[in-house]
Amino acid sequence: MKLLGMLMYMWVCSICLFLSTLVIARPDTTVSTIFRFSPVFLTGKQAIFSAQMEAESPGIPEVRIVHHQDLNKKILIALVVASSLLGILLLFLLCFWIYRLKSWKNSNGKSKQNFDAGKGLALTPIVERFNSLMVAGKKDSVAVIEYHLLEAATNNFGESNVLVEGGRGRVYKAHFNEKFLAAVKRIEGGQDAQKEFENEMNWLVTFRHQNIISLVGCCIHGETKFLVYEMMQNGSLENQLHGPTHGSDLTWHQRLKIAVDVARGLEYLHEHCNPPIVHRDLKSSNILLDSSFNAKLSDFGLAVTAGTQNKNVKLSGTLGYVAPEYLLDGKLTDKSDVYAFGVVLLELLMGRRPVEKMSPSQCQSIVTWAMPQLTDRLKLPNIVDPVIRDTMDLKQLYQVAAVAVLCVQPEPSYRPLITDVLHSLIPLVPIELGGTLRVA
């Protein structure tokens, strides 16, 4: 609009300039005309004197009379041409502005049409973005989702949509439409929360693995940050084992498959990332299960590269899962994740929490309580989760218990690599669940 106003101003100034030129030129024409016809008004003597002067002065140049009508025509033509050009330019700019205005309205209209009728939510851009990233396997890229879309998808972050209460905030179920659901983690807090948000987003945009949660997008609204993940319909392993169902939905073979999935995710971090990654907060609440009970690692806010100097790593983790050397000396390696995996394996095996209260002032860890019985084949069946106690093969039970014992060794050097753990567990899983053929 400013450009149109400026051009209008230039157009008017040009017209005024040409008109003023035309007005100034007209007095010359009048003078020339009077000079030409002035002899008509001379007296007789003056006429004779003038004739004599003309006869006696043949060398005086003849005064030529200029007809300014031709000049006025040229000025008028120039004025018309200039005005026409400016008019065409203005018309073109006006049409362009109208086109842009219509395009903007149409784009808004399409966005509104894509809104879910019940929730007012633009689904298509988010789904297409997520699908394109997954199909192409594209790294270092994440969709930025507008806040009002998350607000609509979570019913204004209503209590009925809360999936879990986390350490840094809540996780909400987001209904983008009937076919596309997601989990939205709302992160609030100070510098630590900001750092964890950035850390997790930076890691997840680089990971592409079937046993690591996929990031759909992110959002920043004021001081609040949001991470949007793929939906995991069966929630966390913690909720399955220690929630209302108390593990009744998890068979022995499903538990073995979950353990293998977790080991695969850790192997990817330890062996296939460059540099290797230490999760640093592996626990049952950070192991999520999809509709088929496939397990995926989540919550990478505390993840660091292996070999990070101790002075740069703040002591963090969850009581019961933290390796002794990290808790006492701040020593952090991939073996710290192996220890946490051993605790998760004991949870799957016994159905007990990693730390249980013995009295108001005393707690006992699952490792301390179970270790003496894990190595005793007579006592071992008695500490197994009652839900699966009568459905398992004792030989498999002994093998799983042996792996767990090695993983929770106090000395890191005695613990196996996660790759060795994976190779020990895979043969125990049925082929239809992702296991391998057993070699006799």
Q: Which residues are catalytic?
A: 281
C-alpha span between 236 and 352 (Å, rounded) = 15
C-alpha span between 25 and 162 (Å, rounded) = 84
In 255-409, beta strands by DSSP E: 277-278, 287-289, 295-297, 304-305, 355-359, 362-365
Burial class (CB in 10 A: 0-12, 13-18, 19+), 96: exposed
Edge-first strand listing for the sheet containing 215-221: 143-144, 215-221, 224-230, 181-187, 170-175, 162-165
- The one-letter amino acid code at 187 reads I
DSSP category for residue 251: -
C-alpha span between 222 and 256 (Å, rounded) = 43
In residues, how long is the chain?
A: 440
Burial 387-421 (b: 16+ CB within 10 A, else e): bbeeebeeebbebbbebbbbbbbeebeebbebeeb
